[in-house]
Amino acid sequence: MRIPQPVTQPRLLEPGAVYLVTRRTLRRYHLFAPDPRIERIFRYVLAIAAQRTGVRVHAAVLMSTHEHLVVSDPAGRLPVFLHYLHRHVALATKVVRRWEGAVWDHEPTSVVELRTPSAVAEKIAYAIANPVAARLVPRAKDWPGLTTRPREIGTATWRTPRPSEYFAADDDKWPPHAELRLEMPRAARELRMDADEFRTLVAHELASLESAARANVRAQQGTFLGADRCARISPFRRARSWEPVRATNPSFAVGRAGDDVRRESAARVRAFRTAYRHAFEAWHRGRRDVPFPAGTWLMREQHAAPIAA
């Protein structure tokens, strides 16, 4: 009998991990173009999703065509968090934009585990610098949509009133206000930095990325779109800038760590996938006593499969 294989590679999800999360809109439509209503929706749902799952948000940037989040997952509930966030953001966006059909791209959400403290700092800066890298504004702080400032990490609390669109005032699951604190990641402690030093590190990484992006624009004799024009982008237009087809979707990042850390991280993922495949094959043969490896989420949640210690 031919044993069916998982449709996609299994994802290793362990409590306490830190992730860079990215998801795009359908066919790169500008459905999240800077708009106070869209920003309010995203902040509100993000806060409630974090409260209900225990996920900690360190940075959030909402571009016109995609999101970037850097989050920690203490309880191993990232899939629940993402499902809740993406579902309700999509439904509310459809109301605001009067949009028929899907809001999010059909590709799986990109979830990259940040395996080192330096990778956490680098990816936070990468997320914040995205509007500059996309040639929209010359400085990240000029982005008119939802973004995070380095100084906000570990200090800011976003208090967002319930949006009037989609969220029923007489439904108890939608409170009048939702609060989200931008948490300081544990990477600061692992780097033996206090909070101010970590924020300074992120700010320096951000400045380097901004400088490189501006130099690239000058070298190509290009220009930035500018904050005012960004705020006037039609949500019904598609992004037309060239970008490579996503042939691969990395599962982890190590930042500037050495090759030893990269090899160790790759071996860890390979070992997990091998153990998962063996357990999956046994499951389809009717064996229910073969445990899936630690870090398995879907089989545990949907089928109560046993998990190895």
How high is the pLDDT of residue 281? 95
Domain parsing of the chain, residue ranges: 17-257, 262-303
Cα gap 128→187, rounded to integer Å: 17
pLDDT at residue number 242: 62
So what's the pLDDT on residue 7?
59
| Nearest-angstrom CA–CA distance, 54 and 143 | 29
> What is the C-alpha to C-alpha distance for residues 40 and 162, in angstroms, rounded to an integer?
8
Residue 183 has a pLDDT of 98
pLDDT for the residue 244: 59
Region of 151 on the Ramachandran plot (φ > 0 left; ψ -120 to 50 alpha; else beta): alpha
DSSP summary character for residue 138:
S
| 1 contacts: CB under 8 Å, gap ≥ 6 | 285
* DSSP conformational letter for 121: H
> Mean pLDDT, the chain, as a whole number?
94
- Six-digit token pair at 35? 């708009």
Look at residue 240 in the predicted model and tell me its pLDDT. 79
Q: What is the pLDDT of residue 247?
A: 54
Question: What is the percent of the chain where pLDDT is above 90?
Answer: 91
Cβ-proximal residues to 153 (8 Å cutoff; 6+ apart), any chain: 58, 59, 124, 182, 183, 184, 185, 195, 198, 199, 202
Sign of CA dihedral 160, 165, 170, 174: negative
Q: Flag whether pLDDT at 27 surpasses 70.
A: yes
> For residue 56, which phi and psi values (nearest 5 degrees)?
-105, 130
Query: What is the mean predicted confidence (pLDDT) over 100-127?
Result: 96
**Is the pLDDT score of 2 beyond 80?**
no
Q: What is the pLDDT of residues 48-105, one digit of tens each?
A: 999 999 999 999 999 999 999 999 999 999 999 999 999 999 999 999 999 999 999 9
Share of the chain above pLDDT 70, in %: 95
Residue 18 to residue 175: CA distance in whole angstroms: 28
Mean pLDDT of 97-114: 95
pLDDT tens digits, residue range 230-253?
A: 999 999 999 877 665 555 679 999
Question: What is the per-residue pLDDT for 118?
Answer: 95
Task: With a cut of 80, say whether residue 159 has pLDDT above it.
Answer: yes
- pLDDT at res. 245: 54
Rounded Cα gap, residues 273 and 259, in angstroms: 21
> In whole angstroms, how far apart are CA 305 and each of 6, 49, 287?
15, 26, 10
**pTM of the model as a whole:** 0.94
* C-beta neighbour count of 278 within 10 angstroms: 13
Rounded distance between C-alpha atoms, residue 23 and residue 198, angstroms:
26
Spatial distance between the Cα atoms of 309 and 120, rounded to a whole number of angstroms: 27
> How many angstroms separate the first and last alpha carbons of the chain?
30
Which DSSP state fits 221?
Answer: T
pLDDT of residue 99: 96
What are 205's two structure tokens? 């990484």
* DSSP assignment of 34-75: S-HHHHHHHHHHHHHHHHHH--EEEEEEE-SSEEEEEEEETT
Q: Which CATH superfamily is domain 17-257 in?
A: Transposase IS200-like (3.30.70.1290)
DSSP assignment of 225-286 equals --HHHHHT--TTSBP-S---------SEE-TT--HHHHHHHHHHHHHHHHHHHHHHHHHHTT
Instruction: Name 252's bridge partners.
Output: 113
